Structures are given as C-alpha cells and as structure tokens.
Amino acid sequence: MRRVIVTGKAHEFLISSLKERGFDVLYDPAISYEDLLLQVGDVEGLVVTTRIPIDRKMLEKASQLKWIGRLGSGMELIDTEFAKLKGVECVSSPEGNRNAVAEHALGLLLSLMNHIIPSAADVKKGHWLREKNRGTELSGKTVGIVGYGNTGSCFAKLLRSFDLVVIAYDKYKSGFGNEFVREGTMEEICREADVISYHVPLTPETLHMANSEFFGSLRKKPWILNTSRGKVVDMEALITALQAGRVSGAALDVLENENIESYSAEERQELGWLLAQPNVIVTPHIAGYSHEALLKMAEILLQKIPL
C-alpha cells in the first residue's frame, strides 16, 4: 500500500482525505528525525511543518518518495534542490495561514501601541494607571512591510481600514503597488516607517536581515514586528536597539531558538530581558496556527500534492 507519513500537527481532514485516496497514513506529529530516517524508505509522500529537516540524508533514504507537502509557508528545512534532482515534487500551502498570520500581526501591533498587555497586568495588580499606559494611534502612521508575498500582502489588506501609508519592499517582486500600497526600498522604509513588519522566508539573504546596521539606519523610532522566522531578526542587535531607544517596541511571534529547554545561559538572559520589557511582546510561534488555518492548509495541500 502507498504510504504517507505526517510529521507535524495536521487537521483530521487531511488524514481522512489521504486515507480515502488509498494511502496508508502514519500520523506522528512527535516523530523524531532519527525515527523518520528509519521509516522513510518506502514512503510515497511526506507532510511536514517546521519541526524536522528534510535534508539530503533523509532524501537519499527515501527511495520511493514522490512528493513533500509543507503545511504552511517557508521551505528552508527542505533541501528542495536535491529533491528536484530526485524527481520529488515539493509544495507548500501559504494561502492557508496567511490571513491568520496577518491578523496576529495586527493584533500584536495594536496591543503594543496601546499598552494593552502591561496595562491589563497593572489592573490585575490593583493599579489603575492611565497616564503611564497612554496609547498611540495607528491611524496616520507609515507602515513598512518587508516581503510582499502571501502574508505581507494580506497584512497590507487588513491595514486598509486605517488612515495610513503602506510602503512595501520585496526584492523579488515588482508591479504590485496600488492606490494604497507604495512600492519602496529598504532605505525608504528605514527612513519613513513608524512600523516595520517582516514577512519573508528564511534564506541566506534574510538571515539577520534586521541587524545592527539596519537598526543604526532607522530615522524614526519604529515598532518592529516579526511573524516570519526568528533568525530574520538578530536578537542581540534588537536588544541593543531597544536599550538605546532606537525602536519604540517589538512584537515577536518567532525566536532565533524556539527550543527554550535547550537555551544557554546567555540565551536565557536575553529572553528574560525581553520578557521583562513593557514594550515587548513574545508569542510562541502561533501566528499561523489558528483553528481555521489548520483546516485551510490541509485543503490547499490536498489540491497541490500529486495524488
């Protein structure tokens, strides 16, 4: 029987649909790299998330593999070039969770600018501090969007209800500007933006894209959002920028190292410092993880994989 291994959390609709199409499905969202390596030899398809790398070693073991389906966006954990050489088709489903990511980014931004989390914490402690928690309106500001793919464009769409300016930069796209979104450069974003939001994949080009040089080039004191990949933002550089007052605050749904149990003393100190700041919000990589997105990603993946 044709076998598929699902290596991450997936909607039941995906599992049942694959079974209806004649696949023997092993659903093991906690499977380790080593266990997958032992079992991948006779599988026709793999469904993956951001948990396990599908590298050359894994692909060489998977002699019967025909396709890899990525739940969500970003293919950085898959050696797509070697997969192509082996005739393995790789597809992803960013359309499924782009709205969830965009809504989460907007929620983070509004919470950050309006001191919602620290003011709610004050009230829980019995303190009614209005002046300390005076907010800043998003309307009238300039928002810089870095990466204008599925999530970046969806975030821009949500911002339409605000009276603001959107400048979007995408190295690999052009011609997407409209009456609401202005195509711009990173230099323009660094010069004009009150908010800078990252929506890029992790590649050698985007690794530490937000580094000390970037923070040093800012002309305003923007709020920084990252709902893409943790390593897009250099954590040490961000902390330095926050300490120096170069940015107004930061909201991160992703971290450079999301395995908190493995943290070194230095990493624990950095994260501890961030979490202690009233102008910083950290959420556990849940932006694209809504109930609706889980189903949409499954539906889209089923349309794309060569069944």
**pLDDT, tens digit (0-9, with 9 covering 90-100), for 202-224:** 999 999 999 999 999 999 999 99
At residue 307, the pLDDT reads 81
With tokens 């943790």, the residue in question is 230
Q: Which of 76, 95, 188, 267 is catalytic?
A: 267
Question: What's the chain's average pLDDT?
Answer: 97
Domains 3-92 and 96-282 share a fold: yes
**pLDDT, tens digit (0-9, with 9 covering 90-100), for 134-161:** 999 999 999 999 999 999 999 999 999 9
- The half-sphere exposure of 301 on its side-chain side, counting CA atoms within 13 A, is 32
Q: Which of 44, 229, 246, 270 is catalytic?
A: 229
Give the alpha-carbon dihedral of 296, 297, 300, 303, to 10 degrees: -120
At residue 162, the pLDDT reads 96
Annotation marks residue 56 as catalytic:
no
**pLDDT, tens digit (0-9, with 9 covering 90-100), for 173-204:** 999 999 999 999 999 999 999 999 999 999 99
What superfamily would CATH give domain 3-92?
NAD(P)-binding Rossmann-like Domain (3.40.50.720)
Annotation marks residue 229 as catalytic:
yes
Residue 36 pLDDT level (bands cut at 50, 70, 90): very high
Domain boundaries, the chain: 3-92, 96-282
At residue 1, the pLDDT reads 78
Give 96-282's CATH code, choosing from 2.40.40.20, 3.30.950.10, 3.60.20.10, 3.40.50.720: 3.40.50.720
**pLDDT, tens digit (0-9, with 9 covering 90-100), for 100-133:** 999 999 999 999 999 999 999 999 999 999 999 9
Tokens of 248: 């107004």
Residue 6 pLDDT level (bands cut at 50, 70, 90): very high
At residue 290, the pLDDT reads 97
